[in-house]
Structure 1
Amino acid sequence: MNHWNDLLVLILIVSAIYMLIYFGYLGFTRYVKNKRINKKYIALIYKIRLFYKPIAWIVVIGGFVALDPLTHGFIILLVAGFVFKQLGNYVSGLFIRSSPLLAVDTVVKAGKMRGRINRIGSLGLVLITDQGERWVWYNSFDHTGFTLISNHTNVQQRALYLKSELSKEKLQNLIFDHPILVLGKPIILKALQNENTYLLHYTLVKGAQHEDFINFLQDHEVLINSTEKFDS
C-alpha cells in the first residue's frame, strides 16, 4: 500500500463487506421468524458479524501502518496504550457476547452479584440488581467467572477456572466426554497466563447439576476455582 487512495479503497471494501453481513443478518432473521429453520444458522451469521468488525479494524489499521511503518506504527502504539483497558474489555466481550444465551432479560451471576441484563454494550453490560442498575465491565467476568441463566429455557452457561497438568487437547477431550454438556453449544477452553490454568465456558443440559460436572473433573485431578488465583 503506497498511497492514501489505496487506504480509502481498503476502507470502502471492508465497509461494504460489513454492510452485506449486517443486512444479510437482518434479512435472514426476519425470514426465519415464520420458518422452522434451525436457530444455529442465525447464531452463526451473528458470530460472523460480531467477529468481522474487529478483523476489519485490524485490516484497516494494518493498511494505515503500511503507508508509513515508523510514524504510523508509533501513533497506533500510542493510541493503544491509552485505550488498553477498553481494548481488553472489548476482546473479553466478544467471546461473552457470542454466547447464544446472552440476551436482554437473561440472569447473570458473577461472584456475589446477581442481576438481569437490561442492556448489552460493546464494553460491558447494564444489569438490574436489587440495588438498582449497575454497569459491569466484561473484564470483571474474566476475574470472577460467571453464570448465564436463560429465563426462557432454564439452560445455564457457566464460566469456571481449571488447573491441570493435562495438555489443553487432553483436557478438552476429557470435558467432551461428559454427557452433561449441551451438544452444539459453544464450549470454550482458554489458556491463561498462569501455567496449566484455563478458563472454561460451557453450557449445561436442561435439569443438569453443575456439581456433577465439578465432581467429574475433580475425580480426574482437575482443580476447580471461581477465580484464576488458585491456592498454592
Structure 2
Amino acid sequence: MNHWNDLYALILIVFAIYLFLSLCFFGFTRYLKKRRINDRYLALVKKFRLFYKPMAWLVILGGFIVLDPVSHGLIILLVAGFGYKQLGNYISGLFIRASPMLVTDTLVKAGKIRGRINRIGNLGMVLGTDQGERWVWYHSFDRTGFTLISNQTNVLQRALYLRSELSKERLLDLIFDHPILALGKPSNLKALAIENTYLLHYTLVKGARYEDFINYLHDHEVITNSTENFDA
C-alpha cells in the first residue's frame, strides 16, 4: 500500500464486507428464529458481528500506518495515549456485550449498583435504578464484578476473580469439572495483568447456589474475590 487511493480502496472493501455480513446476519438470524433453533447459534452470530467492527478498524488503521510508518504511527500512538481509558473501556465492553444474556430489561447488579438495563452503548449502559437512570462505564463492571439476572429464566451469570498458581488450561479443566455450571451457557476465563489472577464469567444451572461453586474452588486451593484487589 503506497498511495492514499489504496487506503480509500481498503476502506471501501472493509465497508462492503460489513454490509454483506450485515445482510447475512439479518437473514441468518431470521432463519434461526423462524426455525426456533438453539439460542446459542444466535449468540454466536451476535458475537461475530460485535467483534467484526474493531477488527475492521484495526485493518484500516494498519493500512493508514503502512502509508507512512513513522509519522502516521506517531499520530496513532498519540491518539491512543489520549484515549487510553476510553479504549480500555471499549474493549471491556466488547467482552461484556458478547454475553447473550446482556439485553435490555435485564436486571444487573455490580457492587452497590443495581438496576435494569434501559440502553446498551459502546462505552457503557444506562441503568434504571431506584434513584432514576444512571450511566455506568463498562470498566466499572470489570472492577467490581457483576451479575446478570435474566428476567425470563432466572439464570445467573456471575463474575468472579480467581488467584491460583495453576495454569489457565488446568484451571479451566478444574472449573468445568464441576456440574454446577450450566451446559451450553457462556463461561469465560480471562488472564489479567496481575500474575496468577483471572476473571471468570460463569453461568449457574437453575437453582444452583454459587456458594457451592466457591467452596469447590477453595477446596482446590483457588482463592476467590469479588474484585481484582485480593489484598484489600
Written as runs of structure 1 = structure 2, the 5 A alignment for 1:27-46 is: 27-46=27-46
* 1-structure distance, mates of 2:52, 2:175: 29
* 2-structure distance, mates of 1:214, 1:171: 14
1:114 Cα shift?
0.7
1:112 Cα shift?
1.3
Written as runs of structure 1 = structure 2, the 5 A alignment for 1:67-82 is: 67-82=67-82
SS of residue paired to 1:208 = coil
- Indicate the residue corresponding to 1:182 in structure 2: 182
Structure 1 letter corresponding to 2:79: V
Q: TM-score scaled to structure 2, two decimals?
A: 0.97
* 1-structure distance, mates of 2:230, 2:8: 49
The question of whether the paired residues in 1 share the 8 Å contact of 2:148 and 2:156 is answered with yes
Structure 1 letter corresponding to 2:98: S
Query: Which deviations, in whole Å up to 9, do the C-alpha atoms of 1:125-145 show, x marking residues without a partner?
Result: 100111110000000111100
- Indicate the residue corresponding to 2:158 in structure 1: 158
Structure 2 letter corresponding to 1:25: F
Written as runs of structure 1 = structure 2, the 5 A alignment for 1:17-166 is: 17-166=17-166
Query: Which deviations, in whole Å up to 9, do the C-alpha atoms of 1:162-185 show, x marking residues without a partner?
Result: 011111111111001011111222
SS of residue paired to 1:34 = helix
* 2-structure distance, mates of 1:138, 1:215: 28
Identity of aligned residues (%): 73
Structure 2 letter corresponding to 1:95: F
Q: TM-score scaled to structure 1, two decimals?
A: 0.97
1:5 Cα shift?
1.0
Which 4+ residue blocks in structure 1 deviate beyond 3 angstroms?
Answer: none
Structure 1 letter corresponding to 2:35: K
1:26 Cα shift?
1.9
- Indicate the residue corresponding to 1:219 in structure 2: 219
* 1-structure distance, mates of 2:17, 2:188: 27
1:8 Cα shift?
1.0
* 1-structure distance, mates of 2:191, 2:45: 26
1:107 Cα shift?
0.7
List runs of 5+ in structure 2 lacking aligned partners. Answer: none
Q: Which deviates further from its counterpart, 125-134 or 177-186? A: 177-186
1:25 Cα shift?
1.7
SS of residue paired to 1:33 = helix
The question of whether the paired residues in 2 share the 8 Å contact of 1:117 and 1:127 is answered with yes
Structure 1 letter corresponding to 2:229: K
RMSD: 1.1
Q: Which deviates further from its counterpart, 50-59 or 12-21? A: 12-21
